[in-house]
Amino acid sequence: MNKGADAGAPVIVWFRQDLRLQDHAALNAALASGRAVLPVYVLDDDSSGAWAVGGAARWWLHHSLASLAENLTTRGATLTLRRGPAAEVIPALARETGAAEVHAGRMHEPWARQADDATAAALQRVGVELRLHRTATLFDLDSIRTKTGGIYGVYTPFARTCRALGPLHPPTPAPDHVPCPAPPQSDRLEGWGLLPTHPDWAGGFRETWQVGEAAAHDRLAGFLSKAVHGYDTGRNLPGQPGTSMVSPHLHWGELSPGQVWHTAEQAAQETGKGLEVFLSEILWREFAAYLLWHNPHMPEQPLRPDFARLAVRDDAGDLQAWQRGQTGIPIVDAGMRQLWQLGWMHNRVRMIAASFLVKQLLLPWQAGQAYFWDTLVDADLASNAASWQWIAGCGIDSQPFFRVFNPVSQGEKFDPDGAYVRAWVPELGRMPDKFVHAPWSAPQTVLAGAGVELGRTYPNPIADLPQARQRALDAYRTTVRRAAA
Ligand SMILES: Cc1cc2nc3c(=O)[nH]c(=O)nc-3n(C[C@H](O)[C@H](O)[C@H](O)COP(=O)(O)OP(=O)(O)OC[C@H]3O[C@@H](n4cnc5c(N)ncnc54)[C@H](O)[C@@H]3O)c2cc1C
């Protein structure tokens, strides 16, 4: 607390990846101070560097900020927008408004932690304290320890420990009123250029997503009233609406993970397998945040250092074919096109497409991670990096390197009637089920009957699957042997 602050001094609430009013520990603490509350959002592309919010996520951010601003307005407060390094912007605002203290949610991204330290130090110089609260995870990530005080590297015991920590605090409601001082000068949201202009690639986003806190609750409620019951099996079928699609709402904090947990537990009619599996996925998100918290280099370097020496290929043409959904492997192309259209891809297909990139194409996982970062509305540094490392076999708790997904059998298993492929790769719309996942294996008459001419209407596969699998295994084995020698 700024001891010199006068009785009328406001407190700042610095919103970050927690763009909501319900269950917001930083906002609640600010309101509990009894002072006027100044809500602020800082677009800090300076501190985030290579991990500045990506293109698709910027679209989401724009709409989420608009929604938050509106929710604040109806409660009597104005959201102030500023752009620049947080360590300069926040202390400047504190000076300008004579703020008594600053409350914010803790982020687990390494760049944000550095920015927090710098911001706290700069605030301290003007006698103001930065108080960080847990708004983005279920637990304090430092508090989850093995019996000997160590850090978990494996999901299952981590999840067991989380569950044993007992019931979470019930989520808190949004305040009816947020007493706000006369707001200082603010940037205009439109002036930040977060939305695409030419070309406008966000048409599919607009058709798919409703952004903001109220929409987040609607999306969760819709899922909990239906799909959660068969989620344990339905979550693997990309052609069906079997998952919640709450990931962007969770990333941007329109929903807190605690709210998702509580609402799910309360809404489930029977404590079936679907609910259990859904909750375990929420803990996968927590585990990814935990891994990043304890391994800040995770987005750049393999958690198993030997894998830094894997002899990956450098092939811009293959990378571009993958990005554009033009690999000639239907399930991979369907996923990459869904990603481009919606800013989201089904988890099963994320795994297949990612595996194809790092194994069959033998391209670096960091290249895939970077593309996902730019194209996902739910792009999350922790979940993205942990998932890519898991697929590439270089994470601590990864699938073994010799597990190479076969995209054809994966497609046949999880998209048996080809509904997903047909939805996203219309060129194959008339292919019979039997060949829709491997059109190159179809007789010429079948291809002609379906209007498919490989190499003209749809690409020939850019990789020979058995050969590419062998190439990956050879490269990975060499790396593992070298490490063991
Ligand atoms: C290569 C790759 C990259 C990924 N990148 C991201 C990313 O940037 N951001 C992101 O949120 N998720 C990422 N995931 C995880 C997962 O694919 C998405 O969370 C999920 O598809 C979101 O859809 P949903 O909300 O319908 O999930 P649901 O199946 O309904 O799951 C509910 C929630 O649990 C969490 N969750 C589910 N699966 C995972 C997982 N494997 N790891 C961590 N959390 C999980 C998410 O918050 C999700 O919203 C990635 C997965 C892969 C294989």
Pick the atom of ligand 1 nearest to 244's CA. Answer: 30
243 and 312 both lie in a single domain = no
Indicate whether residue 281 lines ligand 1 (CB < 6 A).
yes
C-alpha angle with apex 315: 311 to 316, nearest 5 degrees?
Answer: 140
121 and 87 both lie in a single domain = yes
Other beta carbons within 10 Å of 257: 23
328 and 272 both lie in a single domain = no
Is the pLDDT at 2 greater than 70? The verdict is: no
246 and 372 both lie in a single domain = no
Is the pLDDT at 268 greater than 80? The verdict is: no
Mutate to test the pocket of ligand 1, among 226, 247, 339, 378 (most ligand atoms within 8 A of CB): 247
Q: From CA 223, how far away is CA 210, in angstroms rounded?
A: 15
Indicate whether residue 437 lines ligand 1 (CB < 6 A).
no
87 and 158 both lie in a single domain = no
Closest CA to 38 of 46, 48, 27: 27
Mean pLDDT over each residue of the chain, to the nearest integer: 95
Q: Which residues are paired to 41 by β-bridges?
A: 15, 81
151 and 233 both lie in a single domain = yes
Q: What is the pLDDT of residue 175?
A: 98
464 and 353 both lie in a single domain = yes
24 and 105 both lie in a single domain = yes
Q: What is the pLDDT of residue 229?
A: 87
Residue where the block lists tokens 């060949």: 435
State in Å: Cα 247 to ligand 1 middle. Answer: 6
Is the pLDDT at 78 greater than 60? The verdict is: yes
34 and 67 both lie in a single domain = yes
Indicate whether residue 236 lines ligand 1 (CB < 6 A).
no
- Residue 19, domain CATH: 3.40.50.620
**Residue 81 φ then ψ, to 5°:** -110, 130
Spacing of C-alpha 349 from chain mean position: 15
Q: Closest Cα to atom 30, ligand 1: which residue?
A: 244
Whether residue 161 is contained in a domain is answered as yes
111 and 223 both lie in a single domain = no
Q: What is the pLDDT of residue 269?
A: 61
Q: What is the pLDDT of residue 347?
A: 98
Whether residue 4 is contained in a domain is answered as no
Record the tokens describing residue 129, joined without a space.
């304290």
Q: Give the pLDDT mean for 47-55.
A: 95
Spacing of C-alpha 137 from chain mean position: 13
Whether residue 378 is contained in a domain is answered as yes
Indicate whether residue 245 lines ligand 1 (CB < 6 A).
yes
Mutate to test the pocket of ligand 1, among 137, 232, 278, 285 (most ligand atoms within 8 A of CB): 285
312 and 287 both lie in a single domain = no
Q: From CA 421, how far away is CA 415, in angstroms rounded?
A: 8
Is the pLDDT at 323 greater than 80? The verdict is: yes
State in Å: Cα 8 to ligand 1 middle. Answer: 44
State in Å: Cα 79 to ligand 1 middle. Answer: 30
Distance, first Cα to last Cα, the chain: 57
State in Å: Cα 278 to ligand 1 middle. Answer: 11
- Residue 449, domain CATH: 1.10.579.10
Is the pLDDT at 317 greater than 70? The verdict is: yes
Last residue of a domain, one of 294, 319, 343: 294
State in Å: Cα 380 to ligand 1 middle. Answer: 9
Indicate whether residue 45 lines ligand 1 (CB < 6 A).
no
State in Å: Cα 213 to ligand 1 middle. Answer: 19
Last residue of a domain, one of 86, 116, 136: 136
Whether residue 204 is contained in a domain is answered as no
Whether residue 195 is contained in a domain is answered as no
Q: From CA 16, how far away is CA 25, in angstroms rounded?
A: 12
Indicate whether residue 383 lines ligand 1 (CB < 6 A).
yes
313 and 457 both lie in a single domain = yes
Q: What is the pLDDT of residue 354?
A: 98
Mutate to test the pocket of ligand 1, among 281, 357, 372 (most ligand atoms within 8 A of CB): 281
**What is the pLDDT confidence band of residue 458, given thresholds at 50, 70 and 90?**
very high
Indicate whether residue 338 lines ligand 1 (CB < 6 A).
no
What is the domain range of residue 286? 138-169+212-294
Q: Give the pLDDT mean for 369-382.
A: 98
Whether residue 61 is contained in a domain is answered as yes
How many folded domains does the chain comprise?
3
Indicate whether residue 285 lines ligand 1 (CB < 6 A).
yes
Q: Closest Cα to atom 53, ligand 1: which residue?
A: 351
Q: What is the pLDDT of residue 240?
A: 94
State in Å: Cα 387 to ligand 1 middle. Answer: 9
Q: From CA 88, how far away is CA 69, in angstroms rounded?
A: 23
Q: What is the pLDDT of residue 396?
A: 80
State in Å: Cα 82 to ligand 1 middle. Answer: 30
Whether residue 199 is contained in a domain is answered as no
Percent of the chain with pLDDT over 90: 90
Record the tokens describing residue 467, joined without a space.
């050969």
Taking only the tens place, the pLDDT of each residue in 156-214 is 999 999 999 877 889 999 999 999 999 999 999 999 999 998 899 999 999 999 999 99
Indicate whether residue 391 lines ligand 1 (CB < 6 A).
yes
Mean pLDDT check: name the lowest of 64-73, 332-341, 372-381, 469-478.
Answer: 469-478
Indicate whether residue 137 lines ligand 1 (CB < 6 A).
no
- Residue 235, domain CATH: 1.25.40.80
Last residue of a domain, one of 234, 263, 294: 294
Pick the atom of ligand 1 nearest to 235's CA. Answer: 29
Other beta carbons within 10 Å of 7: 7
For 40, the enclosing helix (H) or strand (E) is strand 37-43
Q: What is the pLDDT of residue 156?
A: 95
State in Å: Cα 61 to ligand 1 middle. Answer: 18
Indicate whether residue 372 lines ligand 1 (CB < 6 A).
yes
Q: What is the number of helices (H) and of strands (E) in the chain?
A: 22, 5
Whether residue 44 is contained in a domain is answered as yes
Taking only the tens place, the pLDDT of each residue in 400-455 is 888 899 999 999 999 999 999 999 999 999 999 999 999 999 999 999 999 999 99
